[in-house]
Amino acid sequence: MTDFAAARRNMVDGQVRTADVTDLRIQSAMLEIPRENFVPPDAAGLAYLDLDLPVGGAGSRRLLKPMVLAKLIQAADIASSDRVLDVGCASGYAAAVLARLASEVVALDADADLVRMAKSALAALPNVTVVSGLLTSGWPQAAPYDVILLEGATEVAPHGFLRQLKDGGRLVCILGGGPGTKAMLYYRSGEELGGRPIFDANAAVLPGFTKAPAFAF
């Protein structure tokens, strides 16, 4: 039988701390939250490996690698008073981590099975609301947010989320769908959303975030 507590310690010590994730709040959350509860039962033994872990969505949806998730959250510089939108929350693991840092988390997914899974896994957290809707539309009903996390890759720059961010708000994501993709940190400044690369990373492209094919003669 897997010793999940030991697996969590190994994940944080071997994947998170070694990746320069120094925010003790993130380390503590990832040490305490049972990641095995956010994956299908037959994959529980894989919950703490350094991989993008399939959780459903016809096999296309995955939890981000622990290191990638931790670095994205650290880059977002979340304050205890912040409101966060988690786009593509899948089974809800990242939302559980975010809930330890922020005052309120809105966890959005479009896949009905994943929404049900996230609602069940997050039911005990009063500051998390799981909602269902088109990922590319975000969740304007509760906007504006201090932080938006895209839990996967996007092949197009996320300028469509500008209106859902507060002025000075941050958006973190992985930009690109092939080799050489980068994790990005965006800031809203007035009517502009400017971004910069923060580290190398890759992930499965979220539904609806693929680049339209270029027309060729």
List Cα–Cα distances, 199 to 43, 69, 72, 107, 175, in angstroms. Answer: 28, 12, 9, 24, 11
209 alpha-carbon distance from chain centroid: 15
Structure tokens at 128: 């998390």
Across 167-177, average pLDDT: 95
Selection from 203, 46, 55, 30 nearest residue 117 by Cα: 55
Residue 92 pLDDT level (bands cut at 50, 70, 90): very high
Indicate whether this model's pTM tops 0.85. yes
If phi > 0 it is left, if psi is from -120 to 50 it is alpha, else beta; for residue 58 that is left
Map out the domains of the chain with their CATH numbers.
51-200 (3.40.50.150)
Structure tokens at 125: 């957290």
User: What pLDDT does residue 206 have?
Assistant: 95
DSSP 43-81: GGGGTTSSS-EEEETTTTEEEPPHHHHHHHHHHHT--TT
Structure tokens at 186: 């965006």
DSSP 150-207: EEEEESS--GGGGGGEEEEEEEEEEE-SSTT-EEEEEEEETTEEEEEEEEE---PBPT
For the stretch 54-87, pLDDT in tens is: 998 666 799 999 999 999 999 999 999 999 999 9
User: What pLDDT does residue 58 have?
Assistant: 63
For the stretch 130-153, pLDDT in tens is: 999 999 999 999 999 999 999 999
List Cα–Cα distances, 187 to 17, 28, 140, 147, in angstroms. Answer: 26, 27, 18, 9
Selection from 99, 97, 122 nearest residue 109 by Cα: 122
User: What pLDDT does residue 1 have?
Assistant: 66
Residue position matching structure tokens 């961010």: 165
